[in-house]
Amino acid sequence: MSVHVEPIRVYITIFLALMGLTVLTVWAAFQDFGVMSNPIALGIAIAKATLVVLFFMHVRHSTGMTKLVVAGGFLWLLILFGITLSDYQTRDILDPPAAMTMPVDVPGPAHH
């Protein structure tokens, strides 16, 4: 019946972890990880968001229904991203890639 009250030390620990991850993501942004740099930045952001959801938003101690709603929300976001990108990522198969980036009326580099 009664609610679960987290000890203060849990909140402080999570806050410090979030600070640590913020420093980490800024540091990582200046390293050359090649193709991995975007996934690393995104991964750190997901880790931070997960900490906030689980601890600050108490999902760790919530009912299964709440967990389902959270999971469902993010799943639907992935549906929106995934299916939209499936269009954009397959358009080039028919067109030469240059057509996407090369403007037709290229006068050469005029300077402002």
Partner 1 sequence: MSNAKSKERPEGYPDRHYLNAAHGLKSWFLTTDHKRIGLLYLLAITLFFFLGGAFAVLIRLELATPGGDLVQPETYNRLFTMHGIVMIFFFLIPSIPAVLGNFLLPLMIGAKDVAFPRLNLASWYVYMAGGIFTLWALFEGGLNTGWTFYTPLSTVYSNTAVTTAGIGIFITGFSSILTGMNFIVTIHRMRAPGLTWFRLPLFVWSQYATSLIQILGTPVLAITVLLLALERTLKLGIFDPALGGDPVLFQHLFWFYSHPAVYIMILPAMGVISELIATFSRKRVFGYRFVAFASVAIAILGFLVWGHHLFVSGQSVYAGAVFSVLSMLVAIPSAVKVFNWTATLYKGAVSWETPMLYALGFIGLFTIGGLTGVMLATMGIDIHVHDTYFIVAHFHYIMVGGAIMGYLGGLHYWWPKIAGRLYPVFLSKFAAIIIFVGFNLTFFPQFILGYLGMPRRYHSYPDEFQVLNVMSSAGATILGIGYLIPMLYFAWSMFYGKRCTQNPWGAKGLEWETASPPPTLNFDEIPTVTEEPYDYTPKEVQHAG
Partner 2 sequence: MQASSHHSSALAHHFDSFEQQRESASLGMWLFVAQEIMFFGGIFTAYLVYRVKNPEVFALASSELDLTLGGINTVVLILSSLTMALAVREAQLGRGKGVVSFLIATLVFGGIFLGIKSVEYSAKFEHHLVPGEHFHFAPSQEEMDHLWETKGFTPEHIDRRAEMFFSIYFAMTGLHAFHMIIGMVILLFFFRPAWRGRYNADYHNPIECFGLYWHFVDIVWIFLFPMLYLIGRA
Residue 69: partners with Cβ closer than 8 Å, 6 or more residues away: none
Instruction: Give min distance, CB of 94 to partner 2, in A.
Output: 16
Amino acid at 42: L
Instruction: Give min distance, CB of 111 to partner 2, in A.
Output: 7
Task: Select the span of 9-17, 23-31, 44-52, 81-89 touching partner 1 (CB under 8 A).
Answer: 81-89
Instruction: Give min distance, CB of 104 to partner 1, in A.
Output: 13
CA 46 – CA 1 distance, rounded (Å): 32
In Å, what is the CA distance from 103 to each residue of 91, 95, 96?
Answer: 17, 14, 13
Q: Applying CB under 8 A, which residues contact partner 1?
A: 65, 72-73, 76, 79-80, 83-84, 86-88, 90-91, 93-94
